[in-house]
Amino acid sequence: MDAIRARTVPERLEEWRQLNEAGAIMEEEAVRRRHPDYSDREVFLALVVTRYGEELAHQVWPDSEGIEP
Residue 5 pLDDT level (bands cut at 50, 70, 90): confident
Looking at residue 4, its pLDDT comes to 80
Whether 57 contacts 64, CB under 8 Å: yes
What average pLDDT does this structure show over 43-55? Answer: 96
What average pLDDT does this structure show over 26-54? Answer: 97
What percent of the chain lies above the pLDDT cut of 90?
A: 90
Looking at residue 40, its pLDDT comes to 97
CB atoms within 10 A of CB 67: 23
Looking at residue 6, its pLDDT comes to 87
Torsion sign over Cα 42, 46, 52, 54: positive
Q: Which residues contact 60 (CB under 8 A, 6 or more apart)?
A: 48, 52
Torsion sign over Cα 59, 61, 63, 64: negative
What average pLDDT does this structure show over 16-42? Answer: 97
Greatest Cα pair distance in the chain? 48
